[in-house]
Structure 1
Amino acid sequence: MDLVARSGVLPQPGETVLGGEFAMIPGGKGANQAIAAARAGAATRLLGAIGSDAFGVTLKARIDAAGVDTALVRVVYGASGVALITVDDAGENTIVVAPGANAAFTDLTEPERAAIADADVLVAQLEIPVETVTAAARAARAAGTRVVLNAAPARSLPADLLDAVDLLVVNETEADAITGERRPEPLLAVVPRAVVTLGPAGAWYVDRDGASAQVPGVRVDTVDSTAAGDAFTGALAVAWAEGREIVDAVGWACAAGAACARTLGASTALPRRAEIDELWSVSRGPGRAS
């Protein structure tokens, strides 16, 4: 659950600032990216855990309403995951995540492994234990399911996880945590394909076949960038699963991230396919179909 406060400026350590609007919005990277993928046009199933608290009830209802299959989502006794978010007038944010039930998602059941094997693409994040992410990625690799890893929050990653990743999605800070550099090329030492997101400036794609493309961002009036990265990752996975050329898929994902940033909130801001298509078409100029 995202607890979001607006503030003119982000507080510095030890500083208290007077805020403005407050909102309580269902979120979480896994849920956000599942909803983003569903709204972008994919049949989507979520594997994860929610708490037995009131937040858990609300979270599941929101995910269900977005058309995501939650049949395998676990309910764990105790608190659901919570994110404490401050958003300033420029749309920038700071986020602290208290994992709650996410920390209890420590293994995979046979039905969960079967769901991974049945998928075209597995999308994973790092708000659950990295051991579980590794197990899921290796199960996907064994079944021929492509693996998209959004390595956020930033942390060091085990080699056996990276060996199972087909496409790594990180921002510049996360890239630096993995390789010590903010550029994408060093990531090719550990994964075959990588995208480094650059905020409003777009994204940079590289792969081991020699491709390198800086994809420009889509200009919008930014209200809140909180879930823009999740919109990007979910849309990228959908476009790649549909067989789009990867650089085109990255551009379409940039449009999804930009569309998301126009609205306050996380899951509430994630765009639908028609909205992504419209923004992507406009950004490419007159006479060019999406």
Structure 2
Amino acid sequence: MFDDFLFRATLASIGVALAAAPLGCFVIWRRMAYFGDATAHAAVLGVALSLTFSAPIFVWVLAVCLVMAMTVSSLSGKGFAMDTLLGVMAHSSLAIGLVAVSFLSGVRIDLMSYLFGDILAVGKTDLMVVWGGALMVLLLIIWRWSGLLLSTLNPDLALASGFNPKREQLILTIALAVVVAVAIKVVGVLLIAAMLIVPAATARPFSSSPEMMAIVAAAFGAVASLTGLRASFLLDTPTGPTIVGVSAFFFVLTTIVTLILSFAKNSAIQR
């Protein structure tokens, strides 16, 4: 089965969705959407460094994303606004990475596959990296769920309960960097933020608790990945953008249904 490229692509898309969607809930709750996007853009510099030193892409992308995230976290509140720092770091690392890639000679580079993903080219090693990273992120979220959630809702209450908000922020940053590193092969650096945010935003109207939102988001992400992969195969469209497009369609559809139900409920109350 693992010799079938569609089977490998299916497993890779599910692995990324199961890791990215629950993490995306924290990204939404903490209003860190731009942070996730900036981390993804920094991955291009990691790709350039990995090609330069002929090292695994996962290692360099993870290292660059962690350095970027920690630099922003350490400089924020010291005369720099968070959004300014994110903008400078994200676009600078993206530009430097693209320029560095152009200087590589003797290396065949499919830049589009790094920007928008090339899930159909996922190999067995890539599949192991994706699922290893996904399981790491899921176990990290489950292990630190109480601390992460309490630090997100009320940092002072978290500190009083024995949780260090800065440590929880660091754990979230590490998990985000791992997701970016494993998802680059599936949807590319320009679409990773969508895999984090869109399923979580879609799950919000159907969730009565934070735990439920994380589970529903993972389900929406997995279904969107499978549907997008199938649609891409049938329509001969780019797989990564198709998966994100399907996720966006689910978000629009659920939003419309929620608005209709809310309007009908309000009309019934008024009567």
What is the TM-score with the length of structure 2 in the denominator?
0.31
Higher helix share: 2
Larger Rg: 2
**Larger relative contact order (Cα-Cα within 8 Å, sequence gap ≥ 6):** 2
Higher strand share: 1
What is the TM-score with the length of structure 1 in the denominator?
0.29
